[in-house]
């Protein structure tokens, strides 16, 4: 009899966290490595958010709360969905969880079982397929390469749906590509979904507030109101408010799903940290204007990285509309050899080479289900990004 469960045997450790750990180990050993692997803003949590947490500690809000969140945070989330997305949810339709990953985990564990299929566009955020597999479900991967802007088409969605499809997971702006669906693109996908009333939509909007230029964020329940009754709209504080360590995620959706998520949470984590919840109330209800300045900084970094990567022969880097990632296609480098005679057969080989020779850490495309490519997180200073791009360019130029 095996000690470790079969369910756990179906999943792997997060490859993005593995790269972060490898980078930290190299840095601790004194190696001058530039980390472009981490999926978090380098900005600090805003002071007014920290102050709210300190006040929560001082005033004794340090006890258990309602399992699925404090009334104050649920009210703030309802107000956020109304203000930002034109979506009307009652508190009974809101779930507060220990980070966005926990929100998605709860939703999938509460609904997916053996035989169920979940449609996941690739490149995908690394955890979706693993959580589905943990549940015993089957991820149905729909590939969308650089040539189609890393976005699936209505035809591809139609072809992927079967009588067993339970969910479509739609992440926009995307981790790992930064690609974002316009309202019209969402409507076109929505038309397909309206023809298949058994399919639910999990909209992962974690990067909603990090968008650039003229792009206008939209979410599916807003632009296709007929899908409201079968959409779970997932969001959180981690990315917009630089609160990755505080662990607050949330969702709005039909009350039965929300109730099922609460049931699961009541037997696992119980409530999210009371202090983090108080901080999240401040973040959601407070002035949002600091986002403009931060996005301007992100946009400058995006432009720098896209330009520098596109100048490298064999690399093609689309310009994304959101998040803080780019996903260069490296088809032109596959098959080449390093100065030491190692063949670059895959994007994982390229990433190993870049780490060993250029001292730049990024994550290989295979981890996100679409190769050959790699993910660059540009949530770091322009000076470091410029240096990292020079190192990558030199290393790529040395390939034969
Ligand atoms: C697309 C996407 N969804 C969800 C999450 C989870 O966010 P959190 O850190 O709040 O768990 C992340 C974090 O990297 C993400 O990139």
Residue 63 confidence (pLDDT): 98
Residue 175 CB–ligand 1 contact under 6 Å: yes
Residue 16 confidence (pLDDT): 81
Residue 38 confidence (pLDDT): 84
In the block, which residue shows the tokens 């994304």?
A: 320
Residue of 129, 236, 237, 320 with the most ligand 1 atoms within 8 Å of its CB, for mutation: 236
User: How sure is the predictor about 1, in pLDDT bands with cuts at 50, 70 and 90?
Assistant: confident
- C-alpha torsion sign, points 138, 110, 202, 196: positive
Residue 171 CB–ligand 1 contact under 6 Å: yes
Backbone phi and psi for residue 252, each to the nearest 5 degrees, phi listed first? -120, 140
- C-alpha torsion sign, points 353, 358, 359, 364: negative
Q: Over 90: is that where the pLDDT of 221 sits?
A: yes
Residue 100 CB–ligand 1 contact under 6 Å: yes
3-state secondary structure the chain: CCCCCHHHHCCCCCHHHHHHHHHHHHHHCCCCCEECCCCCCCCCCCHHHHHHHHHHHHCCCCCCCCCCCCHHHHHHHHHHHHHHHCCCCCHHHEEEECCHHHHHHHHHHHHCCCCCEEEEEECCCCHHHHHHHHCCCEEEEEECCHHHCCCCCHHHHHHHCCCCEEEEEEECCCCCCCCCCCHHHHHHHHHHHHCCCCCEEEEECCCCCCECCCCCCCCHHHHCHHHHHHEEEEEECCCCCCCCCCCCEEEECCHHHHHHHHHHHHCCCCCCCHHHHHHHHHHHHCCCCHHHHHHHHHHHHHHHHHHHHHCCCCCECCCCCECCEECCECHHHCCCECCCCCECCCHHHHHHHHHHHHCEECEEHHHHCCCCEEEEECCCCHHHHHHHHHHHHHHHHCCC
Q: Over 90: is that where the pLDDT of 359 sits?
A: yes
Specify whether the CB–CB gap between 312 and 325 falls below 8 A.
no
Residue 269 CB–ligand 1 contact under 6 Å: no
Residue 176 CB–ligand 1 contact under 6 Å: no
> pLDDT by residue (tens digit) across 130-162?
999 999 999 999 999 999 999 999 999 999 999
Q: Over 90: is that where the pLDDT of 20 sits?
A: no
**What's the number of CA atoms in the CB half-sphere (13 Å) around residue 123?**
31
Pick the atom of ligand 1 nearest to 249's CA.
10
Residue 362 confidence (pLDDT): 96
- Cα 298 off chain centre by: 16
Residue 19 confidence (pLDDT): 84
Q: Over 90: is that where the pLDDT of 21 sits?
A: no
> pLDDT by residue (tens digit) across 23-63?
889 999 999 999 998 889 999 999 999 999 999 999 999 99
Give the distance (Å) from ligand 1 centre to CA of residue 125: 8
For ligand 1, atom 16, which residue shows the shortest CA distance? Answer: 175
Pick the atom of ligand 1 nearest to 207's CA.
1
Residue 208 CB–ligand 1 contact under 6 Å: no
Residue of 239, 250, 279, 363 with the most ligand 1 atoms within 8 Å of its CB, for mutation: 239
Pick the atom of ligand 1 nearest to 238's CA.
10
Residue 236 CB–ligand 1 contact under 6 Å: yes
For ligand 1, atom 7, which residue shows the shortest CA distance? Answer: 100
Pick the atom of ligand 1 nearest to 244's CA.
9
Average pLDDT over residues 357-365: 96
């Amino acid at each position: 009899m095996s000690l470790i469960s079969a369910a756990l045997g179906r999943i792997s450790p997060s490859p993005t966290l593995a790269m972060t750990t490898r980078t930290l180990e190299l840095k601790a050993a004194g190696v001058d490595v530039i980390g472009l692997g981490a999926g978090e803003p380098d900005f600090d949590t805003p002071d007014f958010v920290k102050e709210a947490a300190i006040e929560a500690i001082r005033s004794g809000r340090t006890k258990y709360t309602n399992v699925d969140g404090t009334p104050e945070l649920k009210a703030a989330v309802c107000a956020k969905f109304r203000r930002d997305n034109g979506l009307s949810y009652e508190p009974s339709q809101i779930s507060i969880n220990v980070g966005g990953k926990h929100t998605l985990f709860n939703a999938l564990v509460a609904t997916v079982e053996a035989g169920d299929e979940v449609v996941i566009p690739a490149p995908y955020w690394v955890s979706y397929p693993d959580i589905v597999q943990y549940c015993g479900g089957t991820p149905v991967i729909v590939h969308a390469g650089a040539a189609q802007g890393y976005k699936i088409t209505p035809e591809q969605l139609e072809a992927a749906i079967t009588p067993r499809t339970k969910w479509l997971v739609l992440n926009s702006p995307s981790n790992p590509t930064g690609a974002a669906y316009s309202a019209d693109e969402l409507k076109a996908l929505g038309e397909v979904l309206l023809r298949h009333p058994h399919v639910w939509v999990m909209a992962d909007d974690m990067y909603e507030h990090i968008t650039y230029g003229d792009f206008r964020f939209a979410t599916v329940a807003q632009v296709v109101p007929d899908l409201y009754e079968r959409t779970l709209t997932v969001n959180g504080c981690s990315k917009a408010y630089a609160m990755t360590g505080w662990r607050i995620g949330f969702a709005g959706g039909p009350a039965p799903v929300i109730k099922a998520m609460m049931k699961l949470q009541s037997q696992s984590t119980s409530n999210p940290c009371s202090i983090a919840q108080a901080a999240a109330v401040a973040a959601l209800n407070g002035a949002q204007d600091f986002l403009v300045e931060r996005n301007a900084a992100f946009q400058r970094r995006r432009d720098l990285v896209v330009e520098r990567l596109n100048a490298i022969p064999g690399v093609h880097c689309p310009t994304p509309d959101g998040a803080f990632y780019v996903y260069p296609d490296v088809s032109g480098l596959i098959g080449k050899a390093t100065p030491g005679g190692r063949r670059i057969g895959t994007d994982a080989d390229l990433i190993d080479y870049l780490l060993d020779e250029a001292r730049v850490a990024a994550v290989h495309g295979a981890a996100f289900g679409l190769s050959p490519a790699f993910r660059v997180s540009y949530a770091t200073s322009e000076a470091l990004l410029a240096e990292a791009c020079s190192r990558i360019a030199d290393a790529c130029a040395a390939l034969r």
